[in-house]
């Protein structure tokens, strides 16, 4: 016989109690005195008396179909997921503000660039490209860098990547590119990886991709943090002034923390240690008040300058080196607030390159032209309605009025009869609705004198689009020696995963057009003969090197935004720990205390609790490490595989290591780690960390 809920031992809700230890029934009895938001309701606002049990025909009888509370709850749960993005599925985002620091009204009539100090709210989403929503943060991949500006003239979406060029020149090849890099169609793997046959088969048949391949195989594709990436609009756009005069423009984001990457082995290990490494890093930085910031730059030029270049500015596989055309700063973006709800904001945000404002327009870039169609089209599939723009994260923050009506999930409630234009209802005293604004409304740039203005529409590309190798050569030769080694090693690794030998041969033949030494190194790494050079539609040029393309040539490491680990154990010197921690924090970094146990440990001079346990806080999660240990503790850790791996990984990833005498004698000497410019006593640690010591790399790993 079933017990009544209020009988001894029969409280059906006793396993879940309220804050004061009350049962659900007792809490419910107080309901009339609680705030309105404390009442659990159905989607129709009906208060729910029991959220623990479905309605049955007797305590042990069948569940009744009339239980609308159960049906609504399960119905909604069954439909919680929406289709993920075809590309850029895994993303992380934040709210922020753009402040105009250097107005450019002489170039663009866009209001966000009109006045110094003008602030525009925005939402920025970073993403990987190839993997699904459940993949990891640190694969070798392009990173999306999309910004939605909520301007007072409407939304402007600057939808780009952390690399300034792209694999293909024409949007008609985009489905082929993505199909090739995604999981192979018959076997469903690899996930979030380009190291497989179909990708390299496609790349080997598309010489225009070779410039982008250099970037994708460089350290740019394995960033240290989303906060430490550049962003690029990729395409050539137009800026239009108040008189209707237009100039070409490229958009560039430069991070205040500088550009920083990981090394490949580190990225792989981070994926295992913390699959959410970048997402967590961005969230925690904002939560702690370390707001990431980027300056927005523009490269502005006219048709005459464009015509003088040895490449076509409408070709998205090309960039204009900063040494050829210096970027001009226009403002600063600061991300200062994490999303309140991941699904409602990060997942449902919809970026469309067609979202522009007066003063910004398009060029004839054929990849951009295809994107203008594709992005809008995909929102209907993902969000289920042409009214996706009414979702709060997508809605403009300026007035919005038009005659678009109805459709799935229409939330607006237009009044009156006017749902067409022109109409004369206003003459009859009714609301006739909005009208077009010739004086202030958006008008496309009146001409596109881009070497083909007024010509016939054709399915072909400009003559200079055929130069596929000059800028790939420029990029490679602008890197430091070990950055070049990283590129060669990345190519060797990825091509080693390609089973079909003809594909590897084809890619090697393309590499010879970029750099003979690069091709030779990759061929040697694959134990393959160097094939004949692939014919080039246009012979590549030897362009002046661009130091701006190198991460390491521009990297001035400081502690700002970095995360430093301090390893300690029972008996460690608390004063020494406090000194390094204070130095790190004073310099703008974050100190993270690591110990074999996370509970409070007794130290010389006090006690401390660790922020993380050693086995769960591998050194790949930090920018530099220091150890403060007593001899007996160091000897104990010298027998711990996790501890040995902690130091070996830091050394192998060329990080700065600070040591105390016991750490050196018991652990570093055992591992064969000799002091160098980056393995130093703790007294020298703060003066060097978090620099990477690339001269160590040839001694710790095989590079192509």
* Residue in the structure block whose two tokens are 């489905």: 175
| 181, two tokens | 């890099």
Closest CA relative to residue 668, chosen from 633, 698, 627: 627
- The residue from 88, 235, 468, 653 that is catalytic is 88
Contact yes or no for 223/214 (Cβ under 8 A): no
Instruction: Give the dihedral sign, CA 374/375/376/381.
Output: positive
Q: What is the DSSP string of 384-425?
A: SSTTGGGSTTTS-SS----S----TT------SS--SSS--G
Rg (CA), the chain: 30
Please list the helix, strand and coil fractions of the chain in percent, rounded to the nearest 5, in that order. 35, 15, 50
End-to-end CA, the chain? 76
**CA 211 to CA 474: how far, in whole Å?**
9
- Give me the residue label for tokens 């199909």: 179
Contact 122, 148 (CB under 8 A): yes
- Asked whether the CA dihedral 220, 222, 223, 224 is positive or negative, the reply is negative
CA distance 615 to 629: 17
Q: Which two tokens stand for residue 425?
A: 């209802």
List, in sequence order, every residue forming a beta bridge with 568; answer none if it has no partner: 628
Q: What are phi and psi of 481, to 5 degrees?
A: -60, -45
**Hey, which residues does 246 pair with through a beta bridge?**
240
Tokens coding 668: 């570093």
Distance CA 325, CA 329 (A): 13
Any bridge partners for residue 152, and if so which? Answer: 154
Contact 82, 384 (CB under 8 A): yes
Length of the chain: 704
**Please, are residues 589 and 609 in contact by the beta-carbon 8 Å criterion?**
no
Neighbour count for residue 292 (Cβ, 10 Å): 24
d(CA 702, CA 298): 40
In 497-650, where do the E strands start and end? 563-568, 590-595, 601-603, 606-608, 612-613, 624-628
**Whether residue 190 has a cis bond before it, omega within 30° of 0:** yes
According to DSSP, residue 575 is labeled H
Per the annotation, the verdict on 256 as an active-site residue is: no
Strand partners, 145: 126, 160
Provide the b/e sequence for 266-280 (b: ≥16 CB within 10 Å): bbbbbbebbbebbbe
Neighbouring-strand partners of residue 438: none
Query: Within 10 A of 704 (CB to CB), how many other CB atoms are there?
Result: 20
Catalytic residue among 24, 155, 161, 486: 161
235 as an active site residue: the answer is no
User: What residues are annotated to the active site?
Assistant: 88, 161
């Amino acid at each position: 016989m079933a017990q009544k809920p209020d009988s001894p031992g029969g409280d059906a809700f006793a396993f879940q109690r309220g804050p004061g230890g009350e049962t659900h029934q007792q809490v419910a009895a107080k309901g009339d005195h609680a705030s309105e938001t404390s009442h659990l309701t159905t989607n129709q606002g009906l208060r729910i008396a029991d959220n623990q049990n479905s309605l049955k025909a007797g305590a042990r009888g069948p569940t009744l179909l009339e239980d609308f509370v159960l049906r609504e709850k399960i119905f909604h749960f069954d439909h919680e997921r929406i289709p993920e993005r075809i590309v850029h599925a895994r993303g992380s985002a934040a709210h922020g503000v753009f402040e105009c620091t250097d107005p450019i009204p002489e170039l663009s009539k866009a209001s966000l660039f009109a006045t110094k100090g003008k602030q525009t709210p925005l939402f920025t989403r970073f993403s990987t490209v190839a993997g699904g929503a459940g993949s990891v943060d640190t694969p070798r991949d392009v990173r999306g860098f999309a910004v939605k500006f909520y301007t007072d003239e409407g939304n402007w979406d600057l939808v780009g990547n952390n690399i300034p060029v792209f694999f293909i020149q024409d949007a008609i090849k985009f489905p082929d590119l993505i199909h090739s890099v995604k999981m192979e169609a018959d076997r469903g793997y690899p996930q979030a990886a380009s190291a497989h046959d179909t990708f390299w088969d496609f790349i080997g048949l598309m010489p225009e991709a070779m410039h982008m391949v250099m970037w994708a195989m460089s350290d740019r594709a394995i960033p240290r943090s989303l906060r430490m990436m550049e962003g690029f609009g990729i395409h050539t756009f137009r800026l239009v002034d108040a008189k209707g005069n237009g100039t070409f423009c490229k958009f560039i984001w430069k991070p205040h923390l500088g550009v920083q990457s990981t090394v490949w082995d580190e990225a792989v290990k981070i994926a295992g240690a913390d699959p959410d490494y970048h997402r967590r890093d961005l969230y925690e930085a904002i939560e702690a008040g370390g707001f990431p910031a980027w300056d927005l730059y523009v490269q502005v030029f006219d048709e005459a300058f464009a015509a003088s270049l040895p490449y076509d500015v409408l070709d998205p596989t090309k960039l204009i080196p900063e040494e050829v055309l210096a970027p001009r700063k226009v403002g600063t973006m600061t991300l200062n607030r994490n999303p309140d709800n991941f699904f409602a904001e990060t997942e449902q945000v919809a970026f469309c390159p067609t979202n522009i404002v007066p003063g910004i327009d398009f060029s004839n870039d054929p990849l951009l032209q295809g994107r203008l169609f594709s992005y809008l089209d995909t929102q209907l599939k993902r969000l289920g309605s042409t009214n996706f723009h009414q979702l709060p994260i997508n809605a403009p923050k300026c007035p919005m009025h038009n005659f678009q009506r109805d459709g799935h999930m229409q939330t607006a409630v237009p009044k009156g009869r006017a749902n067409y234009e022109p109409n004369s209802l206003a003459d009859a005293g009714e609301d006739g609705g909005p009208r077009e604004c010739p004086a202030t409304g958006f008008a496309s740039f009146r001409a596109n004198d881009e070497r083909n203005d007024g010509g016939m529409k054709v399915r072909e590309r400009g003559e200079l689009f055929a130069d596929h190798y000059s800028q790939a050569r420029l990029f490679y030769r602008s890197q430091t020696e070990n950055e070049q080694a990283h590129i060669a090693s990345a190519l060797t690794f990825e091509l080693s995963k390609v089973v079909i030998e003809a594909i590897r041969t084809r890619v090697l033949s393309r590499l010879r057009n970029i750099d003979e030494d690069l091709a030779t190194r990759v061929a040697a790494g694959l134990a393959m003969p160097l094939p004949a050079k692939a014919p080039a539609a246009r012979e590549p040029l030897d362009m002046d090197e661009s130091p701006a393309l190198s991460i390491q040539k521009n990297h001035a490491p400081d502690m700002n935004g970095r995360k430093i680990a301090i390893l300690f154990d029972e008996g460690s010197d608390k004063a020494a720990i406090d000194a390094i921690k204070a130095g790190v924090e004073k310099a703008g970094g974050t100190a993270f205390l690591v110990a074999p146990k996370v509970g409070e440990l007794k130290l010389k001079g006090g006690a401390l609790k660790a922020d993380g346990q050693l086995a769960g806080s591998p050194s790949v999660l930090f920018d530099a490490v220091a150890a403060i240990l007593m001899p007996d503790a160091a000897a104990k850790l010298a027998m711990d595989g996790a501890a040995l791996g902690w130091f070996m990984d830091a050394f192998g990833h060329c990080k700065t290591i600070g040591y105390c005498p016991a750490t050196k004698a018991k652990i570093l000497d055992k591992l064969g780690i000799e002091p160098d410019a980056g393995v130093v006593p703790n007294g020298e640690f703060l003066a060097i960390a978090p620099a990477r010591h690339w001269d160590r790399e040839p001694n710790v790993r095989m590079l192509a």
